[in-house]
Amino acid sequence: MTKEKFLRWVNSPLKMRFYLFWKLPMAWFAGISVKHCNTEKAVVSLPYGWRSQNPFRSTYFAAQCAAAELSTGLLALAHLQDLPPVSMLVVKIEAAYFKKAAGTLLFTCEDGTAMAERIQLALDSGQPQTFEATSNGRLADGALAATVKITWSFKAK
């Protein structure tokens, strides 16, 4: 698939809902959706509701990590299009929570360009490379609720 076709597909709400249902059912169940994705930035929405909340009436930390992971993973997948096969794997997750998340969160990752460079380095060197992508979760008023750092490993197959 070409990068442009992949991005059109990812930015299609209906196609992404089917994909999440088929490949990431927990994300589908939680109501996670892609708001916008290009090669530099991905924005993923996590609604607050009974499917994503914890007993303390805020968004469950694992649901927040899932949305953050999707925002970083989409950028990686976009850059892997049109390239020789590369395996990708999450090797570490760090999260910091700053505000009670009792509303819809938008997780944004803007590390697409740097991630593409690291993927190319993995291909050029033949050695596994890691990349720490940061996704910030913000409430509707713009307040930072969480920062999640996902470390990806890329290795040419």
HSE of 85 in the Cβ direction (CA atoms, 13 Å)? 2
CATH top-level class of 3-156: alpha beta
Q: What was the pLDDT predicted at 111?
A: 97
What is the pTM assigned to this prediction?
A: 0.94
**Cα(145)–Cα(131) distance, integer angstroms:** 23
- Using one digit for the tens of pLDDT, what is the confidence trace for 100-152? 999 999 999 999 999 999 999 999 999 999 999 999 999 999 999 999 999 99
Please report, rounded to a whole number, the percentage of residues in the chain having pLDDT higher than 90: 98
pLDDT score of 66 more than 90:
yes
Q: What was the pLDDT predicted at 25?
A: 94
String of b and e for 76-93 (b: at least 16 CB within 10 Å)? bbbbbeeeeebebeeeee
Q: What was the pLDDT predicted at 148?
A: 98
Q: What was the pLDDT predicted at 97?
A: 96
Q: What was the pLDDT predicted at 1?
A: 83
pLDDT score of 10 more than 90:
yes
Task: Report the pLDDT averaged over residues 37-55.
Answer: 95
- Using one digit for the tens of pLDDT, what is the confidence trace for 13-36? 999 999 999 999 999 999 999 999
Q: Provide φ and ψ at 29, rounded to 5°.
A: -60, -40
**Cα(105)–Cα(108) distance, integer angstroms:** 10
Q: Rounded mean pLDDT of the chain?
A: 96
- pLDDT-based confidence at 90, cuts 50/70/90? very high
